[in-house]
Structure 1
Amino acid sequence: MNDPLAAADELNRAARDWRSEPARSTQLEALALAVTANLPVLLWGEPGIGKSAGMERLADGLGVPLETVIASVHEPSDFAGLPVIGDDPAATGVPMAPPDWAVRLATAGRGLVFFDELSSAPPAVQAALLRVVLERRVGSLSLPEPVRVVAAANPPSSAADGWHLSPPLANRFVHLNWTHDPRTVARGLAGTWPELRVPMVDPAKTTGAVARARGAISGFLTARPGLVHSLPSDAEARGGPWPSPRSWEMALRLLAAGYATGVARDAVAAAVVGAVGDGAGLELLNYLEELDLPDPDRVLADPDAFALPDRGDRQLAFLTAVVAAIQAEPTRRRWEAGWAVLAKAVDAGVPDVAARAAGDLAKMRDTDWPVPSGIDGFVDLLRLSGALAG
């Protein structure tokens, strides 16, 4: 006798089949950028918007296993671990046993864990998730670094028994608004969805990308110190992105990943705003538009061929980037080129702008390296600070 459901199952499989095509999607690119930077991502969207389907496509694009965990139906102990009593607890302690999904990811060595319905999880569960999101620890088990963390939440107004996210948990995520384009949905239901491309880091750009990002963030926060930490006053805003030293570090990593991968600016902008919030994020983006830092590695390769920027904030950001690039690859040639760059600040009559960079550069000196001529304008300052001792 034929199985009466076999034909129906075959029909359902055919209806679920789809292919992909190259197409731009800012939200997909921002998600892929944050995943590349290994930062936890939180997708905000109404029910049925396609967040779970996006995770399946992301896992397929990464070629990694996907573990979906519905946060709202778990207890705190499911993330903190359950105590397992051994023969001699006084000698061995009491290990906290992890759940099966964490063991599968640790065994695979890589993967994607998707915490769904996060805004429906009560505060006690959110507190237990803090360590999982930040440290990648589940009970006594450490998740491997190649395991990426993504979560999804419905706005409290549309979530079942919704809660605002606690500020400590919210500040650990890059927040992305997950919306739908009716034309994309229509084409997808016809069998073709946009292709999710995971950006590839160019190893040759890594040093310069990190240095540029350090210079940009450091220069911006020097000019706008009030934005280093700004906790919103109302509960709903505290459950979203807002600026803190932690989220500025996330913005730095996103910028560096963007520089090293060549991801489109609007996707980088969406991810950065998702880390530090609308106000601080838009100010940073405007600052970056005007900043236009040159590649510090190119400058160090030929320090005589560049001109120092005119504005003080751009000078500080650029010199910070140069020092960061040297610190990432400290050779005598690059160190001496750095002093040639700083000497231009002295010649331009702004040695105070370069003073901090000069102190950092002096501390990198190998005892076998001779003192270069470009250091002359900083000798008195460095001796007073002790950076030239010996």
Structure 2
Amino acid sequence: MRPSHIETILDREFESAADGFHTPVMLWGPPGVGKSQIVAKIAQQHSVPLIDIRLSQMEPTDLRGIPFRNGDLVEWSIPSVLPDAERHGPAGILFLDEITSAPPTVSAAAYQLILDRRLGEYQVPDGWVIFAAGNRQGDRGVTYAMPAPLANRFTHYEVEVNL
């Protein structure tokens, strides 16, 4: 799909989040085709923050947080990189970039975040959308096959090279 069509789809998806409807979107394409720039453009057009998490550089605890003892309980610290309505605003874009280059343990940690919009006690604010991007296995990059349980959580679009 041409980048201009992808922009239209992401724009509509962002606007639908305000009405409580949002399906996470996965953008596929070769390196350098502009997947990240398209997402950044949507954030800029709506004047909302973009939190860009490069999953290829993460560990599972970077998403889930670190456990700490609180009296007789073990609680989890919520990573500051995740969107928070007070710190980041009521609406925005959580962009999980390089998801297909993330080790399987990291992508598994993202399942609950993508499907349920939560990780443990953490909840993604209602006005935030989740977009992801990655390279295909044939793009000669470092990629892992996307497991079916993760793939089923997205609406998928392939970004074409626009010459």
* TM-score bin, normalised by smaller chain: 0.7 to 0.9
Task: Give the superposition deviation at 1:106.
Answer: 5.5
Q: Does 1:170 align with 2:151?
A: yes
Asked whether the 8 Å contact 1:81–1:139 carries over to 2, the reply is no
The corresponding residue for 2:106 is: 125
Structure 1 CA distance for aligned equivalents of residues 45 and 120 of structure 2: 29
State the partner residue of 2:79: 99
Question: Whole-Å Cα distance in 1 between the matches of residues 140 and 122 of structure 2?
Answer: 31
Give per-residue Cα distances to partners, 1:285-307, cap 9 Å, x unaligned: xxxxxxxxxxxxxxxxxxxxxxx
SS in 2 for 1:133: helix
Q: Please give the per-residue CA displacement for 1:299-329, whole angstroms capped at 9, x wherever unaligned.
A: xxxxxxxxxxxxxxxxxxxxxxxxxxxxxxx
Q: Which residue does 2:61 correspond to in 1?
A: 77
| CA distance in structure 2 between the aligned counterparts of 1:139 and 1:159, rounded to whole angstroms | 35
Question: 2:133 aligns to what SS in structure 1?
Answer: strand
Structure 2 residue 26 is the aligned partner of structure 1 residue 47: no
Identity %: 33
Contact 1:97 1:140 in 2 (8 A): no
Distance 1:138 1:159 in 2: 32
Q: Which residue is 1:25 aligned to?
A: 4
The CA distance in 2 between the partners of 1:87 and 1:99, in whole Å, is: 21
Gaps of 5+ in 2: none
TM-score (norm 1): 0.38
Contact 1:82 1:139 in 2 (8 A): no
Of the three residues 85, 90, 94, the one matched with 1:113 is 94
Distance 1:134 1:117 in 2: 18
Aligned-residue offset at 1:104 = 4.3
5 Å-filtered alignment, 1:1-390, equals 25-35=4-14, 36=16, 37-89=21-73, 94-104=74-84, 107=87, 108-158=89-139, 160-182=141-163
Q: Which runs of 5+ in 1 are unaligned?
A: 1-23, 183-390
Say whether the 8 Å CA contact 2:84–2:124 is kept in structure 1.
no
- Shift in Å, 1:88: 2.5
The alpha carbon displacement at 1:52 in A equals 1.3
Shift of 1:41: 0.4
Structure 2 letter corresponding to 1:74: M
Give the direction of change, closer, same or farther, for the CA distance of 1:103–1:61 in structure 2 (3 Å limit). closer
The one-letter amino acid of 1:141's match is Y
- The aligned length equals 155
Choose between structure 1 and 2: higher helix proportion.
1
Q: Distance in 2 between matches of 1:171 and 1:130?
A: 10
- How high is the TM-score relative to the length of structure 2? 0.86
Shift of 1:64: 1.0
Per-residue CA deviation, residues 126-178 of structure 1 (Å, 9 max, x unaligned), is: 11101110111134221111011000010022253311101010000010111
Letter in 1 for 2:68: V
- Paired letter, 2:47: G
Question: Do the aligned partners of residues 180 and 124 (structure 1) sit closer, same or farther apart at CA in structure 2, a change above 3 Å counting?
Answer: same
SS of structure 1 residue aligned to 2:137:
coil
- Seen in structure 2, the aligned counterparts of structure 1 residues 159 and 75 have a Cα distance that, compared at 3 Å, is farther
Distance 1:106 1:159, change over 3 A: farther
**Does the 8 Å CA contact 1:119/1:159 hold for their aligned counterparts?**
no
The root-mean-square deviation of aligned C-alpha atoms, in Å, is 1.9
CA shift for structure 1 position 123: 1.4
Report which of the two has the higher share of strand. 2
Tell me which residue corresponds to 1:222: none
CA distance in 2, matches of 1:118, 1:159: 15
Deviations 1:69-89 (A, max 9, x none): 001111112222211211232
Runs of 4+ in 1 over 4 A off after TM superposition: 103-106
